[in-house]
Amino acid sequence: MKIGRRSCFTAIAVPALALVGLLHGQQAVPAQKTQMTIVRAGRLLDAKTGKTLTNQAIVIEGDKIVRVEADPGASTAHWPADARLIDLPNATVLPGLIDAHTHLTMTGNFGYSMLGDSVPRQALTGARNARVTLEAGFTTVRNVAAFNYADVALRDAINAGDVPGPRMLVSGPPLSITGGHCDDNLLPSEFQATYPGVADGVEAVQHKTREIIKYGADLIKICATGGVLSKGDDPNAAQYTLEEMKAIVADAHRLGRKVAAHAHGAQGVIWASEAGVDSVEHGHLMNDEAIATLKKNGTYLVPTLYLIDWQREHAAQANLPDFLKHKMELVSQTAKANAKKAFAAGVKIGFGTDAAVYPHGLNAHEFAVYVSLGMTPLQAIQTSTINDADLLGWSDKVGTIEAGKFADLIAVDGDPLADVTTLERVKFVMKGGEVVKNSYGGSQR
């Protein structure tokens, strides 16, 4: 039977109009009201200026800060009756901390024991480490390297609210030359074992950069030199060529991703900086020329120094194979001296820990090392707030307690400007307006 266009229209339109009429007769569902939270801080550290303000109220709606103002005092009548009040009268409140060099999906299993960790197991390990890191006061992290895409899965689980953890920017598998620091060099040739980030030559590294972005990476991690916790490579030796690194950086930046370069030796640091990477990680074996190159190009250095102290103090617990112990001793001899030179030269410094080389949750021990090498406590704190926010490209989201930023806050006893180790004992953590940890208890309405 032939159906005309008008009949067809009528058949569709009549039920549709009936549905509209039905909906019109219903009352609109009111939008859910955003929760207002007021954190009343006895002391508040302005990370930009270094000033500690007293008796401040941080007004939060949903997951964002809307304003910071003087606390009106004991009376709660100033605030809406349904607002949640969190009183921290004897604490110092700071912005949530940032760690720009973590490996949440990894533990201290290095050498051949690494071969026993499946990617699913690493993702589950990451869930545990994410919670511990968040409770230590680090509300944002940059995860630079995971086996396969375990960190992508972890980031997505945190964002979905499935597991607690910090905000994550993740790299997925790091790029490496064949046989380089970020390749699988533990198994013999008959296994033909290769990590998924291995690529050689300009065309291959371009393809690999695009592939890693395709599968969910927020940034690109490259291994520009040999490393410490890997077999058969030399931390002093440059691995990727300058041309290969330029190709990686060009593709990553064009596609809106930043690039972090693992580099110990001087040549690798220089080439990575000249190629335009956003940060050089470690730099433990660099020389004066490499430091000058970082300064000239405005490349961030993320020095990861507390791991040296931890390894020395916990050698038995670290349980490194002999072929890794030798390289750890090599970089430990010069790492701090080179970092101190970089600090004095005015190189931009980001805060990163390499957590996994030592237990997650001890990240804040890095601050005291920076202070021991010439930074003031404020400068050390700024590396983990203002500097890291800039490095991550998130200065509009995190790093300070200001209107429009995420309500990511921590609180400690005492004055971190007088004793930066107070940050190793965080007692209150808020991420996105939600209290993660509160050892103070106290008044909440």
- Position 314: which residue type? H
3 state DSSP class of 441: coil
421 or 322, which is more confident?
A: 421
Count of domains in the chain? Answer: 2
Can you give the pLDDT at residue 8? 45
- For residues 135 and 163, is the Cβ–Cβ distance under 8 A? no
Residues 299 and 434 placed together within one structural domain of the fold: no
Domain membership flag for residue 8: no
Can you give the pLDDT at residue 76? 63
> How far apart, in Å, are the Cα atoms of 65 and each of 37, 61, 94, 140, 382?
9, 6, 13, 16, 20
Range of the domain at 357: 97-392
335 or 33, which is more confident?
A: 335
Average pLDDT, integer, range 59-75: 91
Residues 180 and 310 placed together within one structural domain of the fold: yes
Can you give the pLDDT at residue 196? 79
DSSP code at position 225: B
Domain membership flag for residue 22: no
Residues 62 and 144 placed together within one structural domain of the fold: no
Average pLDDT, integer, range 301-305: 97
Q: Please say if the pLDDT value at position 62 is more than 90.
A: yes
Q: Please say if the pLDDT value at position 406 is more than 80.
A: yes
Can you give the pLDDT at residue 2? 46
Residues 117 and 168 placed together within one structural domain of the fold: yes
Can you give the pLDDT at residue 110? 66
Record the tokens describing residue 363, joined without a space. 């990240």
pLDDT band (50, 70, 90) for residue 445: low
Average pLDDT, integer, range 137-159: 96
Q: Please say if the pLDDT value at position 403 is more than 80.
A: yes
Query: Residue 170's closest CA among 149, 188, 184?
Result: 149
150 or 117, which is more confident?
A: 150
- For residues 260 and 142, is the Cβ–Cβ distance under 8 A? yes
Q: What is the CATH number of the domain that holds 49?
A: 2.30.40.10
Residues 91 and 153 placed together within one structural domain of the fold: no
Q: Please say if the pLDDT value at position 425 is more than 70.
A: yes
Q: CA-CA distance, 342 to 290, in Å (whole number)? A: 9
pLDDT digits (tens, 9 = 90+) for 304-333: 999 999 888 886 666 677 767 777 788 788
- The crossing angle, in degrees rounded to 10, of helices 322-332 and 306-313 is 130
- For residues 342 and 291, is the Cβ–Cβ distance under 8 A? yes
Domain membership flag for residue 444: no
Residues 350 and 408 placed together within one structural domain of the fold: no
The contacts of residue 21 (CB under 8 Å, 6+ apart) are none
pLDDT band (50, 70, 90) for residue 5: very low
pLDDT digits (tens, 9 = 90+) for 232-288: 788 888 999 999 999 999 999 999 999 999 999 999 999 999 999 999 999 999 999
Q: How many CA atoms lie within 13 A of 21 on its CB side?
A: 6
Domain membership flag for residue 342: yes
Residues 65 and 121 placed together within one structural domain of the fold: no
Domain membership flag for residue 27: no
Residues 407 and 268 placed together within one structural domain of the fold: no
Residues 114 and 193 placed together within one structural domain of the fold: yes
Residues 345 and 383 placed together within one structural domain of the fold: yes
Q: Specify the DSSP element, H or E, that contains 322.
A: helix 322-332
Domain membership flag for residue 4: no
Q: Please say if the pLDDT value at position 109 is more than 80.
A: no
Average pLDDT, integer, range 394-413: 98
Residues 368 and 420 placed together within one structural domain of the fold: no
Residues 286 and 376 placed together within one structural domain of the fold: yes
Count of beta carbons in the 10 Å neighbourhood of residue 69: 11
Can you give the pLDDT at residue 280? 98
Can you give the pLDDT at residue 23? 45
Domain membership flag for residue 15: no
pLDDT band (50, 70, 90) for residue 21: very low
Q: Is 36 exposed, middle or buried (0-12, 13-18, 19+ CB in 10 A)?
A: middle
The pTM for the full model equals 0.89
Q: What is the CATH number of the domain that holds 214?
A: 3.20.20.140
Q: CA-CA distance, 359 to 310, in Å (whole number)? A: 9
Domain membership flag for residue 11: no
108 or 168, which is more confident?
A: 168
Mean pLDDT, the chain, whole residue set: 89
